[in-house]
Amino acid sequence: MRDRNKILLLFLAAIVMTLPTVGVRDIITSHEGRVAQTARQMAVSGWPWNAGTVTIPDVSMRTEPDGSKRLLPDPSLPPLQVNPWIIPVISGEARLQKPPLPYWATAVSFKLFGVNEWAARVVPTMLWALLTLIVADLAAMLIHPRMAVWAAGVWISSYFGFDEFRKCMVDPYLAFFSIAAVWTSVRAMQNAECRMQNESADAKSSFCTLHSAFCILFYVFLSLAFLSKGPAAFVPVIAGIAAAWSLKRPSHWRIRYRGHIAGIFVFLLIALPWYAIVWHRFPNALLLWRYESLGGFGEKNEKPQPFWFYLPQLLLIALPWTPVWIAGIVISLRSKWRRGAALIWQGLIVLIFCLVTQKKNAYLLPATAAQTLVAVQGIRWLFAAARKDRPTPIVWKLTAILIALFAIGIAVGFPLYSRGFENDRSAKGVAELITRQLPGSGATLHFESLPPDAAFYLPMESPGPGSSNVKWVVIDDRHNTIKEVPRSFASLFPGRTVKEARRVPIDMYPYRWKVFEVTLGR
């Protein structure tokens, strides 16, 4: 009971150290911008049941010069009227590369709290806090009941998870639901083991009911992970289940089909309707989803990285617990399978993602729970080294002090760093200047060319095609390489001629964002 109260206190600490400052960082990357701007379009259209329709062009699959594949507008096809809650829309085009759950969650948050950075990130932030409870329970089942508190402490004091779950992106949703699915699977296996140790009829009936409930809950989480990032959700979940099954004795490898049959039905009921609707409207979407999900295993060559890219990154991702994480790896390799489940879980995820040509640290978010458990194995070894049976009180206290210092340092340092350095890259300031100057300039914004993180801070309304022959084009020039007016504006306006282009004198440090005024002719 005392450990349970400590875990609840750590869960509350996770909320307190995150919610007040989750909005201090501006939307500064295209990854966040795409989710936030797509959700913004949903929110401004109304609630799903009474949303106003949006006119978008129909699309066809095309291959870009860099080898990437996209569904791009096809002017030869008639335009479509769509509900943005069903067919996600960004910059006047369908956004079908990713499933809609992150957009839905962000749009609901916008409807409740207004369109701002805090509302864009509050849902993934709360998911990170909830994982404090799940990771603690996993540590109790996979390592030792007394290590649950320390697992919760390591989780809230690790920077990588803290930082990535404060971004309005798809990966935090995938990470939460895949980790939660593995947790329910381990819980079901734990329940099966308890059932075998209790032979009474009432206990068996209760355990069977509980086992079926956990099976159904597993498929609920799996379906939500599938609605977050498609088939990629199966990778961390299968890796976690494989690791958990390594703990079971052969006599426990019996599957209760009733719970799984009901669970598969629930999975199909939750996960497939959106895909079916989109596939009916956009048959080419199937090719896009295959490319997005499986193209990374060789076909997808956007920003390719070498096979070993994640290996040095793991040392940084484990901060500030890298030393005890390394110790946990050593202990897991030297111990029996029961102590190696977390290492198997993390290792399988990293190995599979190493085979994907496109690599980003955010892709490893589903492995953070396993990484925390490996670090807890290292802490347990330190406790054992301090004293063979029970560690001395000073070791417990020093570890608790370290967790508190790391957590406080992360909670305080994150907003200071965001305000002092990261927000310099934001389009928020230049967007405010454009919003003030645009009404009196006689020009309209060219929305299709806007970077998503810039579009989030600019007006949502897009004027009709004949409303103005003068367009403002916002360019993300992060490397400050554009010295003259670009000659590529003609490609932005097919069927029109560019009569004149000039630089609009809106400059803000560090001059990342440049604005050009383009005058069009027939």
**Beta strand 444-445 with 80-82: parallel, antiparallel or unpaired?**
unpaired
Cβ-proximal residues to 251 (8 Å cutoff; 6+ apart), any chain: 196
Q: What is the pLDDT of residues 438-490, one digit of tens each?
A: 877 778 888 777 888 888 888 876 555 556 788 888 888 877 788 778 877 87
CA dist., res. 168 & res. 453, Å (int): 11
Mean pLDDT of 168-196: 83
Mean pLDDT of 145-156: 92
- Within 83-185, strands assigned E span 89-90, 93-94
Angle between helices 171-197 and 368-386 (to 10 degrees): 60
- Listed residue (159, 158, 155) closest to 135, CA to CA: 155
- Within 246-388, strands assigned E span none
Percent of the chain with pLDDT over 70: 84
Q: What is the pLDDT of residues 309-352, one digit of tens each?
A: 888 888 888 889 999 999 999 888 877 555 688 898 999 999 98
CA dist., res. 464 & res. 466, Å (int): 6
Q: What is the pLDDT of residues 349-370, one digit of tens each?
A: 999 888 877 778 888 999 999 9
Q: What is the pLDDT of residues 8-54, one digit of tens each?
A: 999 999 999 888 889 888 888 888 999 999 999 999 999 998 888 88
385, pLDDT greater than 80 = no
Report helix, strand or coil for 256: coil
pLDDT score, position 193? 54
Does residue 510 have a cis bond before it (omega within 30 degrees)?
yes
Q: Which residues make beta-bridge pairs with 521?
A: 497
pLDDT score, position 241? 87
pLDDT score, position 391? 58
Percent of the chain with pLDDT over 90: 29
- Listed residue (57, 108, 178, 174) closest to 494, CA to CA: 57
Average pLDDT of every residue of the chain: 82
Cβ-proximal residues to 519 (8 Å cutoff; 6+ apart), any chain: 469, 470, 498, 499, 500, 501
CA dist., res. 390 & res. 191, Å (int): 29
Q: Is 114 left (phi over 0), alpha (psi -120 to 50) or beta?
A: left
233, pLDDT greater than 60 = yes
pLDDT score, position 67? 62
